[in-house]
């Protein structure tokens, strides 16, 4: 299994060298040559303008994957509340399930959800499977893996989705390993190739500089963890779901680890993920003092305040307000980016917003490429006018 270069076709143009994230290809004597840093990722294949590069894959015997059907979403909870990422995944899951013409199932492992189950139907699931045990009030890696392995093996879903949270990212890899199933971490895009029924899982890699689309062509189920805030929950008023309850009688010794204590801290005041409007500032704001005008706009619009990594690093803003690859991922209805140049690490955290407004002095700033409305100019002059005009329209209304 290797990358093959056709010396007849290769023109030595070097496109492949530029595309390689690992530095695994060089131009020697005007021809591309693979060196041992190659990780077989295949970026060069796409980049080659003359199709001189191919990857030699062994032909794997096509397995019959047709017994696997349906999409599952595994929920997690905290203080008896389902983490919203489960409902967001049901929103996307409904779309994928309709494409594949299969059912959508919500899986909950817990102890106190009997009464609420019916109310979850509105998020789009056809079926809710509730795995109940007093012990499952808390999260145990090994019990989750054990219970979910049995359930997957019995019911054979083709896709299993869960949140890319410290909980999801704890049990999903172990579950994947036990099932010998492919798992893609921290996806920010999901789609279906209808012909193969493959899940196309897109995720940022190399600190968000590159996007990779991953698929699991020869095995099922296909597992993926998805970053909270990537998709939106939908509500369907009249939907009903079939409810299945399975009770477990777990004892203390059934888990190899023991929870000594759970410490609850104060809940974060900042809730960017659920905000309808976010006003964010970046380097262009200039100083902590200057941030006040952004705060003022946020105040009149009833918006949350956010910022780029630079703004947080310069202490203009607290860490919990950082948006982007190393901060939060948000998708509000309105995102106003003030003095943010739009490094890709920032864009991956906000590009799913419904409407993006960019205000920047530099007309070439990359933030404009994702913006719906662009304003080229000095934010210190524009923001006060925006506030003034907004107050006027409010009075007219």
Partner 1 sequence: MGDKIQIFVCIKQVPGVQEVKIDPKTNTLIREGILSITNPLDKNALELALSLKEKHGAEVIALSMGPPQAEEVLREALAMGADQAYLLTDKVFAGADTLATSYTLSLAIKKILKDSKNKSKFLVFCGTHAIDGDTAQVGSMIAEELGIPQITYVQKFELKEDRIIVQRTFRKEEVVIIESKLPSLISVLKEINIPRYPTMLGIMKAYDKKKITYLDSKAINAKENKIGLKGSLTEVWKIFIPERKGEQIILEGTNEEIARKLWTNLKNDKII
Ranges within 238-277 binding partner 1 (CB under 8 A): 256-268, 277
Q: Is residue 380 packed enough to be buried (19+ CB in 10 Å), middle (13-18) or exposed (0-12)?
A: middle
Per-residue x/- track, 186-205, partner 1 (CB under 8 A): x-------------x---xx
Judged by CB under 8 A, the residue of 5, 10, 43, 241 near partner 1 is 43
Residue 176 interacts with partner 1 (CB under 8 A): yes or no: yes
Residue for token pair 């919500």: 106
Whose Cβ is closer to partner 1: residue 176's or residue 312's?
A: 176
Q: Residue 152 in contact with residue 74, Cβ under 8 Å?
A: no
Closest by alpha carbon to 387, among 321, 298, 273?
Answer: 298
Whose Cβ is closer to partner 1: residue 19's or residue 329's?
A: 19
Binders of partner 1 among residues 320 to 379 (CB under 8 A) are 320, 333-334, 344, 347-348, 351, 354-355, 357-358, 366, 368-377
Per-residue x/- track, 71-110, partner 1 (CB under 8 A): -------x--------------------------------
Total Cβ atoms within 10 A of residue 107? 24
* Least Å from the CB of residue 217 to partner 1: 7
Residue 389 interacts with partner 1 (CB under 8 A): yes or no: yes
Residue 318 interacts with partner 1 (CB under 8 A): yes or no: no
Q: Which two tokens stand for residue 98?
A: 């309709």
Q: Residue 231 in contact with residue 88, Cβ under 8 Å?
A: yes
Whose Cβ is closer to partner 1: residue 124's or residue 204's?
A: 204
Residue for token pair 């062509």: 217
| Number of residues in contact with partner 1 under rule CB under 8 A | 106
Residue 42 interacts with partner 1 (CB under 8 A): yes or no: yes
Binders of partner 1 among residues 103 to 142 (CB under 8 A) are 138-139, 141-142
Interatomic CA distance for residues 151 and 363, integer angstroms: 54
Binders of partner 1 among residues 151 to 170 (CB under 8 A) are 165-167, 169-170
In terms of residues, how long is the chain? 397
Can you tell me whether residue 388 is helix, strand or coil?
A: helix
Interatomic CA distance for residues 167 and 138, integer angstroms: 11
Point out which residues pair with 277 in neighbouring strands: 334
């Amino acid at each position: 299994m290797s990358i093959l270069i056709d010396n007849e076709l290769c023109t030595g143009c070097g496109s492949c060298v530029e595309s390689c994230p690992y530095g695994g290809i060089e131009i020697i004597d005007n021809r591309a040559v693979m060196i041992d840093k190659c990780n077989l990722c295949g970026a060069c294949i796409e980049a080659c303008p003359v199709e001189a590069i191919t990857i030699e894959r062994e032909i794997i015997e096509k397995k019959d994957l047709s017994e696997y059907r349906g999409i599952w979403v595994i929920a997690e909870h905290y203080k008896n509340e389902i983490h919203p990422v489960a409902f967001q995944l049901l929103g996307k899951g409904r779309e994928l399930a309709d494409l594949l013409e299969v059912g959508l199932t919500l899986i909950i492992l817990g102890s106190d959800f009997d009464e609420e189950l019916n109310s979850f139907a509105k998020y789009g699931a056809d079926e809710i499977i509730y795995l109940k045990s007093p012990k499952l009030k808390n999260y145990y890696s090994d019990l989750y893996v054990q219970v979910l392995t049995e359930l997957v093996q019995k019911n054979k879903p083709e896709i299993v989705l869960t949140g890319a949270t410290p909980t999801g990212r704890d049990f999903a890899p172990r579950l994947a390993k036990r099932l010998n199933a492919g798992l893609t971490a921290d996806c920010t895009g999901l789609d279906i190739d209808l012909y193969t029924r493959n899940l196309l899982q897109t995720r940022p890699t190399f600190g968000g500089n590159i996007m990779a689309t991953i698929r699991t062509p020869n095995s099922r189920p296909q597992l993926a963890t998805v970053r909270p805030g990537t998709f939106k929950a939908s509500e369907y008023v009249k939907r009903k779901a079939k409810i299945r309850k399975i009770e477990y009688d777990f004892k203390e010794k059934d888990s190899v680890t023991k929870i000594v204590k759970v410490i609850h801290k104060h809940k974060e005041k900042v809730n960017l993920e659920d905000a309808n409007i976010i006003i964010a500032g970046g380097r262009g704001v200039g100083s902590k003092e200057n941030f006040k005008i952004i705060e003022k706009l946020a105040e009149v619009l009833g918006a949350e305040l956010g910022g780029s990594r630079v703004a947080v690093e310069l202490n203009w803003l607290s860490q919990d307000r950082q948006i982007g690859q190393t901060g939060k991922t948000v998708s509000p209805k309105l995102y106003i980016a003030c003095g943010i140049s739009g490094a890709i690490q920032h864009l991956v955290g906000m590009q799913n917003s419904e409407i993006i407004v960019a205000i920047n002095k530099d007309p070439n700033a990359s933030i404009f490429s994702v913006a719906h409305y662009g304003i080229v100019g000095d934010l210190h002059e524009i923001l006060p006018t925006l506030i003034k005009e907004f107050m006027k329209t409010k009075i007219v209304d």
